[in-house]
Amino acid sequence: MKYTTLKSIQTDLYTGKITCRELVEFYLKNIKEKNDKLNAFLSIFAEESLLKADEIDLKIKNKSAGKLAGMVLGIKDLLCYKDHISQAGSKILEGFESQFNATVVQRVLDEDAIIIGRQNCDEFGMGSTNENSAFGPCLNEIGENRVAGGSSGGSAVAVQADMCFASLGTDTGGSVRMPAGFCGLVGLKPTYSRVSRWGLIAYASSFDCIGPITKTVEDAALLLEIIAGKDEQDSTVSNLPVENYSVFNSGAVKYKIGYLKDAVESDGLQVEVKTETLSKLAYLKSQGHEVEAVNFPLIKAFLPTYYILTTAEASSNLNRFDGVRFGHRSSTATDLMSLYKKTRFEGFGKETKKRIMLGTFVLSANYYDAYYTKAQKVRRLIKDYTDKLLETYDFIVCPTTPTTAYKLGEKTADPIQMYLGDLFTVQANVVGLPAISIPNGVDENGLPIGFQIMAGAFKEKELLAFAKSVGV
């Protein structure tokens, strides 16, 4: 019963070959068989997803089902789902039950998607491998003891291992695209403000985006079409109309494409990643597209800018978790100050503590101008230069990651090597532009390689159409 497109699922649903209940049973069976090893799901909503399936089967019979009927979804543990636990992969939110639905969750439910469970992730989205989760790492289904990528590792592996059909993840510096690349899937990060962040547990508010992880570009486009658009609950969301992303033009369009020379020619690039990327560029040329190398003088500033600003925002966002209002509360506290200190010490993981302290440091009075203000200025320079490039080129392309999925624990001892995994993905978040990772072959161990495409602001329709046309 393996399906790769929602269209094929709905064809079988509407012709009576399968039912939604049978679909949910198929995914629940896979979860039962695989999740103990892969650790992709933290909670499984078995009974309610079966009841929802029966409800949608009736709607299909009455021809009143929504656009996502038959889509069995998982949601990352950063998205609020009413009357369900939301913990952000952290002990600090132990026992917290959401009082409302995130806007994206409500929108997929309104179109009859079935949410089957809550997925593992790096704590508060802080990580590139899913090894920073308070609930243990999530493992890639391909290869032995390979990381899933982060922070939406559980969301990607669940789709990869057929434990659900698609997932909603979040992307602050590549957290949808990196795991999609490591797992051989499609991962889409929309333009900042294209999708409401209401109900997303914040890490870095000016970087966070919600995006789909799917097996095809078509289904990523359909999900974006459903979740995008204005929202009265989020003052930062764009009011621009949502286009018909899932309607693709049949005519061939020739584009001008720039590839990041420093990325493609880097000595740190895994040999197979470089080979497959060059092969993809040659294919684009053979299809009549104009492909040119572009220099980006600020490429070395991507990661420092990203980490200074995101840790600063994390320091501000995470100070609400104090043991007073919700979540974990230390049982050994003797006064208010010890309550704050002990609750945070017990509740936050090592990586989260490190980023909070770094953020607090760069926001401190003595260092604010030296780090935070300077990083904001560099962010503007990176954005201006990126926008200038996109006046000449329709898309900017590069590998999604410098390597394929590495072994569990391989990078944890060296945080610099860990952070370098985000080198090619953080640019889109720093400048707020849409980017997508699509599968691009495998290495000698059969581990997937990702190819990233970035477009101008709110150019998702063109980005998705191009990604579909060049996907393998």
Q: Which of 176, 18, 112 is nearest to 2 (CA)?
A: 18
H helices present in 320-459, as ranges: 336-347, 350-363, 374-392, 415-420, 426-431
Please state, in angstroms and as integers, the Cα–Cα distance from residue 434 to each residue in 112, 183, 260, following that order.
26, 20, 16
Beta strands in 77-206 (DSSP E): 114-119, 166-171, 186-189
Cβ contact 122:132 at 8 Å: yes
CA distance 401 to 396: 15
CA distance 466 to 75: 27
Cβ contact 353:347 at 8 Å: no
The residue annotated as part of the active site, out of 49, 90, 175, 196, is 175
Cβ contact 263:299 at 8 Å: yes
469 belongs to the catalytic site: no
**DSSP codes joined into one string, 374-402:** HHHHHHHHHHHHHHHHHHH-SEEEEESSS
The residue annotated as part of the active site, out of 34, 52, 76, 189, is 76
In eight-state DSSP terms, residue 96 is: -
The residue annotated as part of the active site, out of 49, 98, 151, 437, is 151
205 belongs to the catalytic site: no
151 belongs to the catalytic site: yes
Enzyme catalytic residues: 76, 151, 175
